[in-house]
Structure 1
Amino acid sequence: MVPNKHYKCPVCLKYCSDPDPTYGCWECCLYLHDGSCFETKLPPQIQHFYHPHPLTLSTTPRNVKCRACYEWSWNIIWYYSCKQCEDLGMDIPCALSVLAASTTTKSESQIQHFLHGHTLSLNKNKLDDQKVADCCVCRKGCTGPTIYVCGRDGNCKNIYFHKSCLEFPQQICHPFHPYHPLTLTLVEQNFYHLKKCNACRKSIHTFILYGHCSFAYICEGHKCDFLLHTECSTVMMPVITYEGHAHLLQFRDHNIENNKLNCSACKSNICESCAFTCLDCDLNLHLLCGPLPHSIKHKYHNVHPLLLTNSPVQEELEDETDEFYCHACEEERDPQLPVYYCAECQFVAEIKCVFSEVR
């Protein structure tokens, strides 16, 4: 029995130090605590709910970042890894925890979810209002009545999920990227080059360090460099093809927060306007500078063609009115945005209300 305070037992990941009796192999630098660690039988292969492929017990020393708890183990000898996915490793305690959990009764109070490698527990939110933890999916404070948490220490003490955020599907097909499916994925080193969400252009929060993590929908395996915030994945604003550009253009309402966006055609700012934006590159176009047709026919007004016109339209200027309505949806509209207009019938329609005909 050899105590050694410089090495960790690979089964429990605790240091082999006095007064704990330890078995050791000097040549391999392998040390095991006497008792349960030494007597633990490690399956040569397991199936973990967090990963679709089998995990195989590996005995080649290497540095491993556990995919379940996000902790590094340096020069570890025993761990589980995926033969198909080179980057995936899992330490012994996290890998075996799924086997222990499988023997317990499953209920809504404890679930296994593809977003985290440990069993999650449903707890009432007792956090101090001044120190509300952020949900790892939406990055918003967990202020609801119930949240799912990982009860383990270390990095996992910062793992919180809204119950509703755990209902996001693992894979989606989205009109913003119709070429390939998008997978809800932990944003980590492999995706650090994806700095912004392709839809909203806001930064991706990569809080992997210090126990935080973030998730986003990513096009995996196709080298598309396409990423969506989870909240942006629920936005279904229309997209169009444009013969003057190779990528899809997204129609955006006038709520862009980044005031540095300029129209690629006229070079003026577009943050106060509706616009077309390329989902793949930095192309932004005002509606009048972009690919909108000059004239359309629409079911809301099939008597005459509707013409793309600056707003306010002529009779609104003459009437000096301060109320502006869209005749298609019968709701108030922004008088600063272009419209489709029939002068003969004085019919005015917002672009977003006739967008099905525009594309």
Structure 2
Amino acid sequence: MASRIPFNRPSVRHPSHNHPLRVFKACRENEIICSGCELELAGQAFKCTKSDCDYFLHKSCFDLPREINHKSHSDHPLTLLHSSPYGQPYTCDACGEYGSGFTYNCSKCQYDVHVGCAFIPETVKREDHEHQLTLIYSTPCKGREDGATFICDVCKEIMSDHLWVYYCKECDFGTHVHSCPVYEDHEPKKRGGGETSSEALRMQSLMVARDELAAMRIRNKIKNSIIQFGDEPKYKWVYD
């Protein structure tokens, strides 16, 4: 009798994980968290081939560049690390929230940015504000000598001076970079031949995933009658 050869779906390797990964179509109802960006998994993804291993990656996280130059940290390039370099969760220097998955890191400065934060758009438009908001990499109060601090105009929490802000200079209006902003629908730009930019797709995927997780967290907190934005206090113009 001829032996039957088992059919195996193609697998791939990623340096973040010891086991092979295979293509996986994630549904929002699955409530699976990506092991890279730690956001809810939806759409095209990868999962570990081992049945007892809960390792999942967005395709956008699988394809992240190994190194980037970022305007928020122009002195040094940022290197993609697949876990915290400190042996414990790191604090993102963009949004101030913890992370234990992938990070873009500068080892010289101990500077860390969530992979989702690294690709957020430089401008956003809110329905509740007439002007476009521009991403700045610290609050407008940073470096002031008069004791002023900055308060998010949406959630009214004090913001640490080093955090990134979506800001309208004309109106002195600013918000946190996550949860508080309302993103427009950003269509990825296409190259001359009609091919969609991989970086634009990656940015769009990460933005959508983070928005989905933020909405899910808010729904859960409303359900539990607890409303809280972030783990540390946030800030606007306040004088001693």
Normalised to the residue count of structure 2, the TM-score between the two structures is: 0.40
Instruction: Name the one with the larger strand percent.
Output: 1
Query: What TM-score do the two structures reach when normalised by structure 1?
Result: 0.29
Q: For the pair shown, which has the larger CA radius of gyration, 1 or 2?
A: 1
